[in-house]
Structure 1
């Protein structure tokens, strides 16, 4: 009989190797990422930015299979609070990622809301708060996206609360969940981003457990986070300063988060994502290896 603890599958992502973009000279080559993520003891990966890993399904399948890796999800960024006007351009991007995600055998599409300020330059792109009409558009268009992705590609979307987006804090995450259909829209709980924005991951799991469809595991350094908030730093410079840190050095403690997730008694992916852009190319592998050993010590 399958126990609850065995129902959480641990993986990692290009993000933990300092990969934020499809192509960037400061990022490790995709072949090195695949070699090292397998060598660190992970069996599951995310696709990362579309175009970083091979987009030809046959080649990607060959490259992952010979390293004993499987894909858990693809990722898309969306600005659905802008309403129907952005649907066509959004779908054009989503369809490419969803097609590749389906071809890998994965079942999830991680959906990240658009940033309200540029994560590199800090330029304010729009208001950090949404109007009532924008909240309605966000909820309605996200449900539309979920329905289309499910019907056309057989994937379930999980929305990822993220720093410097409109779905970030405990209040805004709750508002988003309460406004969307549980049968369509799941949540990707990123423990680091939620702590970054003042949320309690264990409380969220206990309150909205039926909405938790996916986990990203990361921690924040509380001292650096205090500096980030005091200086009102954008997310990109905050990451460069080291706001996301190697577990178990930061918050939230991952043992109670995993215990709360295990208590849900559902199949979940828990993907390690330690934001490190940019980073020395030799830095990720030792951290990834130690993190995998730490998670094993937590029973995951």
Structure 2
């Protein structure tokens, strides 16, 4: 399964140290994080807040361990701030990733987002874009796509819990109204299942737009509790709603089969933000690596 050397397997540092909640994994160093990624058998990663921003320093640290950068998260504020503010920050982010050899830039619209609010109920207070905000978002993303193309790169949009692009309907509209030459999709299994979407339907419908994949599993009993008890996104993460592939409710075999049949090329990035004091990140990285090898041969 999968053409040789066409799909690379990475892992996100958020399992070791959480950007949104620095108290999770605060004691874990950058060096421990990337060393354990390599030991677990991964060849790449995304970028966390403890990573050095000096590209020479970062390249040396990663190359010593046989790792490269797959991408990194970018928060856009196209619906809530002047485009120029997002543009300036995006160019700096793009240039950093370009220097690190990444081909895609992960973009998520954070205008009105509640994902970083500790006490805001995730499902009851989910933002919904107005028509004016949709226009700003679509136009802004197309323009960011142009800026990425200047460096031969692509933007991949990350649908995300607690934001204006979370549901199947919202993803469908985003894909319909953005220029397919300028805006691609990041497919995240965990966020879709947590939201209550049919992740395989979204995968098959938009498979030709998918240029980046996050492999994230869900503990469904925690997801149900989040709805019932009106918990926030950050509270859900602390409660362990996410885990690595093979440890939750999702069967990844049909996901891998569909992507293989479509000739997917690019990165698979394991991403499972948990409390590292409860879920040892190295142990879970090994668990994910074994499951992926057994399920799709990578």
With normalisation by structure 2, the TM-score equals 0.91
Which whole-Å CA distance do the structure 1 matches of 2:141 and 2:90 have between them?
Answer: 12
Match of 1:174 among 150, 172, 175: 172
Shift of 1:74: 2.0
Which residue number corresponds to residue 99 of structure 1?
Answer: 95
Which residue number corresponds to residue 289 of structure 2?
Answer: 292
Which residue number corresponds to residue 162 of structure 1?
Answer: 160
Q: 1:248 to 1:42 in 2, by over 3 A?
A: same
Tell me, yes or no, if structure 1 residue 196 matches structure 2 residue 194: yes
8 Å contact from structure 1 (residues 192, 251) kept in 2: no
Q: Count residues in correspondence.
A: 293
Q: 1:184 to 1:43 in 2, by over 3 A?
A: same
**Segment of structure 1 superposing worse, 118-127 or 62-71:** 118-127
Shift of 1:4: 3.6
Shift of 1:39: 0.8
Which whole-Å CA distance do the structure 1 matches of 2:136 and 2:82 have between them?
Answer: 11
Q: 1:25 to 1:228 in 2, by over 3 A?
A: closer
8 Å contact from structure 2 (residues 119, 232) kept in 1: yes
8 Å contact from structure 2 (residues 167, 195) kept in 1: yes
Which whole-Å CA distance do the structure 1 matches of 2:69 and 2:114 have between them?
Answer: 30
Tell me, yes or no, if structure 1 residue 121 matches structure 2 residue 88: no
Which whole-Å CA distance do the structure 2 matches of 1:12 and 1:182 have between them?
Answer: 27
Q: Which runs of 5+ in 2 are unaligned?
A: none
8 Å contact from structure 1 (residues 75, 97) kept in 2: no
RMSD of the alignment, in Å?
2.3
8 Å contact from structure 1 (residues 43, 68) kept in 2: yes
8 Å contact from structure 2 (residues 18, 24) kept in 1: no
Which residue number corresponds to residue 66 of structure 1?
Answer: 64
Structure having the higher helix fraction is 1
